Every structure is written in structure tokens, then in C-alpha cells.
Amino acid sequence: MTSTEKMLQGIKDQLSDENMWSAIGLGFLKIIAILIVSSLIIRIGRAAIRKVFAVRSHSPLRISHRREATLVKLLENILTYVVSFIMIMMILSTLTIDVGALLAGAGIVGLAVGFGAQNLVKDIITGFFIIFEDQFSVGDYIRVDQFEGTVEEIGLRTTKIKSWTGELHILPNGSIVQVTNFSLHNSVAFVDVSIAYEGDIQKAEQVLKDLLETLPEKYEDMVKTPEILGIQNLAASDVVIRVTAETMPMKHFFIARQLRKEIKMALDAHGIEIPFPRLVMYSRQEEKPEKSTGKA
């Protein structure tokens, strides 16, 4: 029997070995069971985390909704990472791979890589302090450099910011140096109202004052009654009166739009004209000299 025939015979014997197929089938079932159990643990763990924070919200020691949403998202991510790592190790062990030697080798390699992974370490440390100091939380509207939007997720390594036009910006935490948080304190909406020079300024101010006193009952996002600061500017064709309103965080855009509508309707109802550009044309005709008749 040639060597080729011996090799083919050996392969045939292995393929016909019932013990081998039983081991493969048992390993396959173990892997499926590991995947199913890991998925269930992640789902149950996430539900438990949310339940704990839901119960905590009724306790005397409460935390802000912003911080609660951030911690829930962070703990869910940590749970997913830990369970996934254990799942991979169990699958490798099922495939008869020496996990101990693999971890030992990974530790040595990780030590070597760690010296070159300074940015990764910086991202993790910065992410920890962002969460610990509560610089911003999930749901806050912030500006980081040229990126501005709502915080979708805060992780130990990256932060996700969604702009109002739909773009999702993923920023490494180590690159976040300066942050402007618009969601911590009340906002201020301001509207400039133009009145014609021919108009009655005192009457316009009184109409605005009467209108503004009725608005807090109509718009719950207003913290208090809007104020008239006075004449902001004397423009070329109008007098500008500035109105300000303190609002709930990030509600100043909506309130400013409503203020413009309410002010326009009130001024129209009292016959106060809002100026518009005008063009005055002046026509000059020069007198023509009289012609001489030429008679003596």
C-alpha cells in the first residue's frame, strides 16, 4: 500500500470514527448553549440594572435623571464587555484551546502593547473623570470644539454626539478638552422688535408689557414673565426694542419663535406698524433756456 493510499485510508478512518463525530457534535451544542446563555445573561443583566435604578428613583437618596441615564448606559456596556469576554474564553476552551497559555501570552503582549497604547489609556481615564465629575450626561446638549448636539452615549473610551441634522459624531474621550454644556442651567430667549420712527414708542412698550404678562400661563417652558430691556438700537429706519425671556434649558429657540408670533399679532391688533424698507425717488427737471427769435 502506497503512502497516498495510507493517508486516504487514515482520513477515511477518522471520518468514520463515531467518537470524533460525537465530540464535534457535543462541542457544537456546547458552543450554542454558551451563546444562548450569554445572550440571556446580558438581557437579564440589563433589565436588572434598569430595575435597580427605577427602584432607586423612589428612594430618599436620588440622583439626577441625566446622571442616571449615563450610569445605566455605562453599566450595560461594562456588562456586555465582561460577558462577551467570558463567552469567548469558554468557546476557546470548548475547542480544546489552552486558554491559560493564551491568557499568559496575551498578558505579555498586552504589557508590550500598553506602552504604545497611551491614547487608549488617556481615553479611558478621561472618560472616567467625565462620568465621575458629571461634566455632561446622556441627553445633554453640548458643544465640543466644532461639534454640537445631543449626547447619545458616554463610554469609557468614546462619546457619541448626535447633531440636530442627524449626524452622529463619535469622539475619543481623550480629545475632549473644552466642553460647553447648554443643559445644566436655564436658557434665555431674546427677540428684537422693530418700531417705525413715526410710531408711538411708549404705546408700543405698553402693548408689549401687557402681552408679556399673559404669556407664562400660556407657555409652561417660560420660567418667569418676559422683560422689556428697552431700546436696543436706533437703526436707519427703525427703533429696536429688545425683549428677553428666561426659559427651561434648551427651550429658548421654541420660546423665541412663539414670542415673535405673539408680538406680531399684538402689534397688528393695536395698529402699530413694523417698518419695512422704503425707497424715495426724487425727480428734478432742469429749466430749458429760451430761444432767441433773431429779430431786431
The 10s digit of each residue's pLDDT in 34-71 is: 889 989 998 998 888 888 777 665 554 455 666 677 77
Report, at the CATH architecture level, how domain 16-126 is classified.
Orthogonal Bundle (1.10)
Alpha-carbon distance of 277 to 256, in angstroms, equals 24
What nine digits make up the cell of 146?
466644532
Over residues 87-111, the pLDDT tens digits come to: 888 888 777 776 666 666 555 555 5
Give me the pLDDT at residue 246, please. Answer: 92
| Residues 185-235 pLDDT 10s | 899 999 999 988 888 889 999 999 999 999 998 999 999 899 999 898 888
164 is written with which cell numbers?
Answer: 440636530
Tell me if the pTM is above 0.85: no
Q: Tell me: pLDDT of 244 over 90.
A: yes
pLDDT at residue 154, rounded to an integer? 83
3-state secondary structure the chain: CCHHHHHHHHHHHHHCCHHHHHHHHHHHHHHHHHHHHHHHHHHHHHHHHHHHHHHHCCCCCCCCHHHHHHHHHHHHHHHHHHHHHHHHHHHHHHCCCCHHHHHHHHHHHHHHHHHHCHHHHHHHHHHHHHHHCCCCCCCCEEEECCEEEEEEEECCCEEEEECCCCCEEEEEHHHCCCEEECCCCCEEEEEEEEEECCCCHHHHHHHHHHHHCCHHHHCCCECCCCEEEEEEEECCCEEEEEEEEEECCCCHHHHHHHHHHHHHHHHHHCCCCCCCCCCCCCCCCCCCCCCCCCCC
Question: Of residues 294 and 19, which shows the higher confidence score?
Answer: 19
CA 296 to chain centre: 97
- Identify the CA nearest to 211 among candidates 232, 227, 200: 227
Residue 168 has what pLDDT?
Answer: 93
> Between residues 62 and 264, which one has the greater pLDDT?
264
**Residue 67 CB contacts under 8 Å (≥ 6 apart), including other chains:** 134, 137
Distances (CA, A) of 209 to 212, 268, 288: 5, 15, 59
Residue 169: which pLDDT band, with cuts at 50, 70 and 90? very high
Query: Hey, which CATH number is domain 134-179, 3.90.79.10, 3.40.640.10, 2.40.10.10, 2.30.30.60?
Result: 2.30.30.60
- The percentage of residues in the chain with a pLDDT greater than 70, rounded to a whole number, is 76
The CA distance from 159 to 171, in Å, is 5
The angle at the Cα of 251, spanning 153 to 54, to the nearest 5 degrees, equals: 45
Of residues 53 and 112, more confidently modeled = 53
6, 11, 12, 17 alpha-carbon torsion, rounded to 10°: 130
When pLDDT is averaged across residues 134-141 and rounded to a whole number, the result is 85
Answer yes or no: are the C-beta atoms of 189 and 252 closer than 8 Å.
Answer: yes
The yes-or-no answer to whether 134-179 and 185-268 have a common fold is: no
For the chain, give every domain's residue range.
Answer: 16-126, 134-179, 185-268
Pick the more confident residue, 58 or 73: 73
Per-residue pLDDT tens over the stretch 126-135: 887 887 777 8
Question: Is 117's pLDDT higher than 70?
Answer: no
pLDDT for 22 equals 72
- Can you tell me the mean pLDDT for 237-266? 91
CATH number of 185-268: 3.30.70.100
